[in-house]
Amino acid sequence: MSISMKNLDPAFRGAGQKDGLEIWRIENFKPVPVPTSSHGKFYMGDSYIILKTTALKNGSFRHDIHYWLGKDTSQDEAGTAAILTVELDAALGGRAVQYRESQGNETEKLLSYFRPCIMPQPGGVASGFNHVEVNEQEHVTRLYVCRGKHVVHVKEVPFARSSLNHDDIFILDTKSKIFQFNGSNSCIQERGKALEVVQYIKDTFHEGKCEVAAVEDGKLMADAEAGEFWALFGGFAPLPRKTASEETGEETEAAVKLLCFNQGQLEPIGFESLTHDLLETNKCYLLDCGAQMYVWMGRTTSLQQRKGASEAAEKLLTGDSRTKSHVMKMIEGYETVTFKSKFNEWPPTPDLKLSSEDGRGKVAALLKSQGLDVKGLMKSAPVTEEPESYIDCTGHLQVWRVNGNAKTLLASSEQSKFYTGDCYIFQYTYTGEDKEECLIGTWFGNKSVEEERVAAISLASKMVQAAKFQATMARLYEGKEPIQFFVIFQSLQVFKGGLSSGYKKFIAENGLDDDSYSEAGLALFRIQGSGPENMQAIQVDAGVFILKFVILLRST
């Protein structure tokens, strides 16, 4: 099902025909193009439609459509944005994945379009029932929290001491000075990204004419800038540690619900096992997984049905006050790997063959070209050209450390910290040229034990099975990683020793010294790499370096 461009809103005509971004703001229930000079400027009282067009090598285009809803936008404008997104997708061929983006809960894919960040401003266009005037008052002191190593989530929080913590980075924007407060548990990558945000605020809201200061968590009042920072909060006082309930921070897994859109209503469908045959090609469905909601539209459904399903999803989210739920909409035949993995049964995609010389998508092709061990794929002949890096850092990454026969999920702040005595499993999903790609890999440290290597391969194989065999599986070894590995992990840090139970047991049984990295001790790292795409920090023996340094001092 598709509609002609001539039947589309005039503002959308000609859209999606060239590589790049196109943005529209909803004004009086109509899409109005946003000039390129204003891309990245969002207002809290508005709703926007963002189209990302990617030119492929075969001459065609891939489209990703997002609609962004400010926290003060009206329900009417939000509904209009959802409907117009469906119309735009249909006009472009119905192959795009549509993302619902709410202020403060944007996907990393959307944030990657706007560097260094998205910082919505108060106000908006007077539209529908939402009459908001643009805020033109004098500079107001604001406090922001910054999270993320690859893309930055910036969110305004109350200007109060209780908003601060040891784990995150905060930016205090005052009239004459911008302070960057670095939580003691924050990592260097996060601090670097936050510094980019500080520069953005300085250039955008201060015309580059203000002072900038960095404040380290726990620094004594003897530091003048730290004293000035804490004075704004009424004086220095130690920040409390998180409680046990706050430290877990994990949401309880909600029961999966399948609802069918029928004549303007959502009807629940009972099932013992969630299988593909529950979906009929002439209907639209909502798969509610709690934090994630998917709208599936059958290939033979009408435009009116798809609009109705989108409206129903908006009403459900608004009625349940689920502002943090992500919504993805997709057409039958263009489902994402994450959507398919929710089903106990999903028929294999005909064009995905394990023995195909082309491999499964660009991930497999890139790994094969470097002669790596890719399950189910033959090694290709040596290539004469450096392969292009189709993988970028805008996908979703999860990393587990292998402990004995089990795996432990790592926090996002720990995902780029590997130990040479451990084994790791990582899963990376991102949008390829024509579908979502999924890479499940194992990484073996040079000092890791054989038992945990075997366990890692077994656990990763089960993950591939759970993904309905729609994922590529790769086996990587320390020191022999391809460049795409570093693109995914960005600033990789490799520490001596290990944290896994298998490594600890091996050390104890053989009476060896455990040289695992400790923040309380002295450590020396060698920074290596030919560019930002493969930069890494490797821990080396500090003793030899110090001895040479002492000899050098004595000789001079």
pLDDT over 70 for what percent of the chain? Answer: 75
Q: Mean pLDDT across the stretch 151-176?
A: 90
Query: Which of 473, 464, 466 lies closest to 442, judged by CA?
Result: 473
In the numeric block, the tokens 């006082």 are attached to: 237
Helix (H) or strand (E) run with residue 30 in it: strand 30-33
Mode of pairing for the β-strands spanning 265-269 and 257-262: antiparallel
State the amino acid at position 221 in one-letter form: M
Phi, psi of 137, deg, nearest 5: -75, 170
Q: Mean pLDDT across the stretch 308-319?
A: 83
3-state secondary structure of 420: coil
Query: Distance between the two ends of the chain, CA-based, in angstroms?
Result: 80
Mean pLDDT across the chain: 78
- Tell me the H-state helices in 478-541: 483-489, 501-509
DSSP state of 207: T
Q: What is the CA radius of gyration of the chain?
A: 26
Most confident of 237-251, 277-291, 340-354: 277-291
What are the b/e assignments for 357-394, b being 16+ CB within 10 Å? eebbbbbbbbbbbbebebbebeebeeeeeebeebbebb
Count of H helices and E strands in the chain?
A: 12, 25
When pLDDT is cut at 50, 70 and 90, the band that residue 92 belongs to is: confident
- Quick one: 121 exposed, middle or buried, by C-beta within 10 A (0-12, 13-18, 19+)? middle
Tokens linked to 334? 């263009």
pLDDT value at position 130?
A: 40
Here the contacts of 512-515 (C-beta below 8 Å, separation 24 or greater) are none
Per the CB < 8 A criterion, the answer to whether 469 and 360 are in contact is: no
* Among the ranges given (233-247, 351-365, 470-484), the one the predictor scored with the smallest mean pLDDT: 351-365
- Please check the confidence at residue 69 and state whether its pLDDT lies above 70: yes
How many Å apart are CA 89 and CA 309, to the nearest integer?
14
Per the CB < 8 A criterion, the answer to whether 390 and 430 are in contact is: no
Query: Which of 367, 329, 334, 368 lies closest to 351, judged by CA?
Result: 334
pLDDT value at position 463?
A: 87
- Please check the confidence at residue 524 and state whether its pLDDT lies above 90: no
3-state secondary structure of 537: strand
Q: Which residue has the higher pLDDT, 74 or 555?
A: 74
Mode of pairing for the β-strands spanning 257-262 and 211-216: unpaired
pLDDT digits (tens, 9 = 90+) for 401-426: 999 999 998 887 788 889 999 999 99
As a residue count, the chain comes to: 556
Per the CB < 8 A criterion, the answer to whether 420 and 497 are in contact is: yes
3-class DSSP string for 451-478: HHHHHHHHHHHHHHHHCCCCCEEEEEEC
When pLDDT is cut at 50, 70 and 90, the band that residue 199 belongs to is: very high
Phi, psi of 133, deg, nearest 5: -95, 145
In the numeric block, the tokens 């893309």 are attached to: 151
pLDDT value at position 531?
A: 54
pLDDT value at position 394?
A: 62
Q: How many CA atoms lie within 13 A of 428 on its CB side?
A: 22
3-state secondary structure of 102: strand
Per the CB < 8 A criterion, the answer to whether 359 and 365 are in contact is: yes
How many Å apart are CA 299 and CA 281, to the nearest integer?
6
When pLDDT is cut at 50, 70 and 90, the band that residue 520 belongs to is: very low
Q: Mean pLDDT across the stretch 214-228?
A: 80
How many Å apart are CA 44 and CA 280, to the nearest integer?
38
Query: Which of 331, 289, 324 lies closest to 310, judged by CA?
Result: 331
Tokens linked to 364? 């497999």
When pLDDT is cut at 50, 70 and 90, the band that residue 31 belongs to is: very high
State the amino acid at position 370 in one-letter form: Q
How many Å apart are CA 534 and CA 478, to the nearest integer?
14
Q: Which residue has the higher pLDDT, 229 or 366?
A: 229
| Strand ordering across the sheet containing 142-147 | 153-157, 142-147, 169-173, 177-182, 211-216
C-alpha distances (whole Å) from 123 to each of 9, 47, 48, 134, 155 are 26, 12, 14, 4, 16
Per the CB < 8 A criterion, the answer to whether 524 and 540 are in contact is: yes
